[in-house]
A and B are shown apart, each in its own frame.
Chain A
Amino acid sequence: MGKISRRKFLAAGVAGAVAGSIGGARSAWAAPKLQGYPDGMGVLVDLTRCIGCRTCEAACNAEHNLPAPQEPFDDLSVLEKESHNGAKRRTDESAYTVVNRYEIPGSDTPVFRKMQCNHCNEPSCLTSCFVNAYTKTGEGAVIYDPEVCVGCRMCMVACPFYVPAYSYSSALNPLIVKCNFCYDNRLVHGQPPACVEACPQEAMVFGHREQLLAIGRERIRYQPDKYVDHIYGEKEVGGTAWMYLSGVPFEQVGFDTTLQKEPIISNVKGFLGMVPMVLAIWPALFTGFHMLAKKRERNAAADCQDDKKGESR
C-alpha cells in the first residue's frame, strides 16, 4: 500500500510547485494566477452527521502527542463553552481541532461543527509569511516549518478562519501550531487523517477534492430538503481542501459567509502594489528577526551542550 499511496496522492497535484515561491517575492506577487491543487486530497465534513462526541478531538490529541486538555474528551459540557464575549471554542496550542455546539433558532436539535485548518488551495497564511515557513503540498496539506518561523504571527492575522494559534508556553522558540492534515505521519503514507478515521459517524469523507465535490453535490441533489444548497469551501477564498455540508444556514453554525470567492492573495497583491516600500523593507526586517532568533537558538543549544558536557564529566 505504501507504494501506490504516496505516488498516487501526488500524481494529480504536481501542478503546484507554487507554494514555495514567496521567497522570491517578486515572482510570487507577479503571478496572480496560482493554479491551486484541484486534485489534492481533502475532507468533506457533513454537519448533519456529526453527533458532537469529540472522538475526533481525542484522536487528534493522541496522534500529535498534544498536551492534555483541561477536561477529558468525554466531557461533553465543553461543547457549550463560550468565552465572555460569546465566542465559541477555538483551536489553540493544545488542540488542532475543536467541536462546538450550536443551538438553532426554531429547532430543538443542536448542530455540531468540527473546525480545524481548512487547508486552503491558496492559503493566506502562506502568502502572508515572509520567511516562507508554510508549504502547500501536492497532497493538499498546508504544513508549517517551525525551524523557519520567526514568530511574527502574520499568519494568525491573515487566516480568514482564525486557525493558526500561538504557542505561548515555549517562549524561547516561538511556534505557531495548527492542524497539518496529519501530513507526515499519515497522509504521505496513504492513510487518512486520525480524526477522520476515528469518527464513529463517518461525518467526514476523505478523498480527492474533486470526488468530494461530486459526493457533496450528490447528497444535496438526493436530499434537497435536508441540505443547504451550498458546499462551504468549494469556492470560498479560492477553495479549500476541507469542505462542509450543512442542514442549516452556514452563518448559524459559525461560518463566515461573507468571505470572497477569490483567494485572499489577490487583495494582498493590490495592497502591496500601492505600497511598494513594504516589499522592500519587510523581507529585510524579517530576515533580521529571523537571524536574531536563530542566533538565540544557537546560543541556547550551545548552552545545552555545555550543560551536557558538564554532566557527562
Chain B
Amino acid sequence: MQARLKRRTEILAFLAFFSLWAVHCTAADLPDTVEIDGLAKYYYAVDFDHSMHIDIVESCAACHHHTAGTPAVDEKCTMCHDRTEASSPVACQRCHAPDPFSAEQVYSRERESRRYHVDKPGLKGAYHRSCLGCHISEGAPIGCQDCHERNQLGDSLFKASLETPNAKVAAGGGGGTH
C-alpha cells in the first residue's frame, strides 16, 4: 500500500513536471543550444545549434513531428492522428529509445505486436535519419566528423592512425597506372 502510494506520487510529480515543461517550451523559452551526447563513447558531445536551426526551418514540425505545439503532419501519422493534439514530449529521447535492439526493447515490441508503432527508430537512428535527410537534400555538411568530433577511442575504433594510401593518391592528384 505504502509502495503504491509512493509510486502514485512519483507519477503525479512526473506528469506535473512534464506538463510544465511542455508549456515552457511552447512559450518561446527555447534552448539556444542542445547538448547531444548519445555517442559519447567515440565522439565528443555535439553542441547542437538549436537557434540557428529554428531560423532556417519553416516550422518546429520539420524535426519535432507532432510535438512542440505542432500537430502531426506526416501522412502516415495523420491517418489516425489527424485530430490529435500535439503530444507533450519534446525531447527526441522521450519516444526514441537509446537501445532499440536490447532484449527488453525487442520483446516489448513483440509483446505489443498489434501496436502500430513497431517500426519506430531508436534514438540514434531517429537523429541521423532526420538530420542527415535534410543535410543531404539541403546541401548541408554530411561527413561524420562535420558534426561529430571523434575522440581518442573513436580514432582507435576507425584505425585512424593507419596510413591512407588512397588519400595520398588523391592528394597527389595522379592516380594509379591501372
Q: Which residues of A contact B (CB under 8 A)?
A: 1, 4-5, 8-9, 49, 51, 53, 55, 58-59, 61-62, 68-75, 77-78, 190-192, 196-197, 199-202, 205-208, 211, 214-215, 218-219, 222
Contacts and interface: CB of A to CB of B under 8 A. Distances in A.
Given A74-B158, A200-B128, 10 more contacts: A55-B144, A58-B159, A68-B162, A71-B166, A77-B170, A200-B124, A201-B132, A202-B126, A208-B106, A211-B110
A78 B102 contact: no
B2 interface: no
B104 to A, nearest CB: 6
Interface of B: 76, 100-104, 106-107, 109-110, 113, 118-119, 121-122, 124-126, 128-129, 132, 142, 144-145, 157-167, 170
A223 B119 CA distance: 14
Contact of A72 (B113, B144, B145, B158): B158
Contact of B158 (A51, A58, A199, A200): A58
Nearest to B167: A75
Contact of A71 (B122, B126, B164): B164
User: For chain A, what secondary structure do more than half of its interface residues adopt (helix, strand, loop), or is it mixed?
Assistant: mixed
Contacts of B103: 1, 4-5, 8-9, 190-191
Given A75-B164, A192-B101, A218-B119, A201 B125 contact: yes
Nearest to A41: B106
Contacts of A51: 132, 142
Contacts of B100: 202
Given A202-B122, A211-B110, A197 B101 contact: yes
Contact of A62 (B132, B145, B157): B157
B92 to A, nearest CB: 13
Given A8-B103, A191-B102, A207-B101, A202 B128 contact: yes
A46 to B, nearest CB: 10
30 contacts: A4-B103, A4-B104, A8-B107, A9-B103, A49-B129, A51-B132, A55-B144, A71-B163, A72-B159, A72-B160, A73-B159, A74-B144, A74-B160, A75-B166, A75-B167, A77-B167, A191-B102, A200-B124, A200-B125, A200-B128, A201-B132, A202-B122, A202-B124, A205-B119, A207-B110, A208-B106, A211-B118, A214-B113, A214-B118, A218-B119
